[in-house]
A and B are shown apart, each in its own frame.
Chain A
Amino acid sequence: MVETDNILTVDKLTKHFKDFTLQNVSFQLPRGYVMGFIGPNGSGKSTTIKLILNLLHKDRGQIKVFGLDNLDHELAIKDRLAFVLDENHYYEELSIRDMARIVASFYKHWEPQTFEKCLKDFELNPKQKIKKLSKGMKMKFSLAVALSHGAELLIMDEPTAGLDPMVRSELLEILTALIQDERKSVFFSTHITSDLDKIADFVTFIHHGELVLSAPKDDILEKYGIIKGSNDLFDEESRSLFVGIKTNKFGFEGLVRDRERAQRCYKERAIVERPTLEDIMLYTVRGEQHV
């Protein structure tokens, strides 16, 4: 078996649908890191995850997990990865205990003690039926299952969507604890970019099925910038600096890809700020906007 430093490699991944295309998406996640996979709803995040899990069939491109082709070594890969999907797909009529027994039977390295500890930590009653669990509890149950078979890669599709701030915070704490083990990696799709502020090492951003950027989070936040100034500073020449811009009668505010260049260009005449991931996503998606 071939092992590489990249735990997940997606190369020129393409999938056509009737009304949407995922086009040449490429990125790599090194082992031991957390990658946030961001983009607005309908940008292709779930499609990419389903292609990694072979729930959808790709048209072109290659996916390697643990350095292995995801189709040729599907079983071996799935035994070593864990998934948490955006909604509950477990059997609602079953109890937590019965559902876990079923799932456990498919994994080579199920760890009953870890599962019991997770149930205790997450305050889940094993006798309770899944249909009786709240959305947050269902997510915790999915996470308990995901953490109980020694998976090296955890793939999560919008795990925080629809959760209250308390549960979201708990979930992020669990993930922070998980990645203390440097062999484990997390690939985490979300449109709530604030979730990634604390835990993501890398960010991959897609929009309309195309890759916008994929880089270390700190590099992105260092490189990009928010520029605010009066409208007379904003001309045709400087327009090319901006990824997205919002103007009104008082002035403009925009996102630039190269903060240093913008600083050189505007000197003291404009305010230059460090953006958040949310700024980067919003300005990229909206482009130019006049209010």
Chain B
Amino acid sequence: MYNLVWKDFLLLKRFLWVALLYGFAAPLAFKTMQGGALSAATVGTTYMLMIQACTQDDKNKSEIMLNSLPLRRRDIVAAKYLSVFLYAIPAILSFFFAQLVVSVTGIPITIYQISLEGIAGALVAMAVLMSIYFPIYFKFGYLRSRMVGMFLFFACFFFVPMAVALTVHGLEGMGNPTLRNIAVVVQRVLGWLLTQADWQIACYLLALSLVLMIASACLSLRFYSKREF
């Protein structure tokens, strides 16, 4: 499995700089998003690298070659999930580097300070995106899953913050009783979360995303083991 991860990094060698640059520019570009800036940097970088890796696999139908080698389909699936976490590392590091540059040089820009809670939030956002995207990718292949990926990517940027804003602030404006009930429940959970320590919140979110990813990986494996090439 680790040689598959390494394979993806070899393929992405020339895209890593772009990803690092994006991670560096994201805190400045998304400074109005506050806590969301780290999520935007992480989700953006990992999505970019993940899609590139999938594109390379699709380009010459390389999955035919991979599946003819002595390796299990479950390793191919697991490697894709593991790679995503590794892609998050340069994203977070370059975000941290941008923050360092701003504070050392004294450039008058207010950017979000990295916290454990923020990293957990970014990883959760990334995990949610990948957990939805990968089963579709493993079921239908890269070409047919591309549109879904784009939709999920933009959803992470626009719809999720909008939904969060509605949940937190805008209950009065919500006419639909079902949506209102869901928002009330989410608001209560958020209220409870705010009473917890930062490390506890981070642990809960990470555990939740881990469960989601495991369920997603099981589904992906089920789909991929039935795929024909």
Chain A residues with CB under 8 Å of chain B are: 50, 53-57, 74-76, 78-79, 83, 85, 87-94, 98, 101-103, 105-108
Contact = CB atoms under 8 A, between A and B. Distances in A.
A106 B60 contact: no
B220 to A, nearest CB: 18
B59 interface: yes
Contacts of A103: 69
A88 B60 contact: yes
A30 B71 CA distance: 26
Interface of B: 3, 6-7, 10-11, 56, 59-62, 64-65, 67-72, 226, 228-229
A101 B60 CA distance: 18
Given A55-B67, A75-B70, A89 B61 contact: yes
Contact of B67 (A53, A79, A98, A101): A53
A92 B68 contact: no
B83 to A, nearest CB: 14
A281 B69 CA distance: 33
Given A57-B226, A78-B69, A102 B64 contact: no
A76 B6 CA distance: 23
Does more than half of chain B's interface fall in helix, strand or loop, or is it mixed? Answer: helix
Contacts of A83: 68
Contacts of A98: 10
Contacts of B64: 55, 85, 89
B68 A85 contact: yes
Given A50-B229, A75-B72, A83-B68, A90 B11 contact: no
Given A55-B228, A56-B229, A57-B226, A91 B56 contact: yes
A262 to B, nearest CB: 44
Contacts of A94: 10-11
Specify which of B65, B228, B229 lies most central, judged by the most chain A CB atoms within 10 Å of its CB.
Answer: B65
B7 A102 contact: yes
B49 to A, nearest CB: 14
A29 B6 CA distance: 37
A232 B71 CA distance: 63
Given A79-B70, A88-B60, A56 B228 contact: yes
B81 to A, nearest CB: 19
Given A50-B229, A89-B65, A107 B7 contact: no
24 contacts: A53-B67, A54-B67, A55-B64, A55-B67, A55-B68, A56-B228, A75-B72, A76-B70, A85-B64, A87-B60, A88-B60, A89-B62, A89-B65, A91-B11, A91-B56, A91-B59, A92-B59, A94-B11, A102-B3, A102-B10, A105-B3, A105-B6, A106-B3, A106-B71
A90 B59 CA distance: 9
Contacts of A91: 11, 56, 59-60, 62
Contacts of A90: 60, 62, 65
A98 B60 CA distance: 16
Nearest to A77: B70
Specify which of A87, A89, A92, A94 lies most central, judged by the most chain B CB atoms within 10 Å of its CB.
Answer: A89
Sort A-B residue pairs by CB-CB distance and give the 5 closest, nearest first.
A89-B65, A78-B70, A105-B3, A79-B70, A55-B229
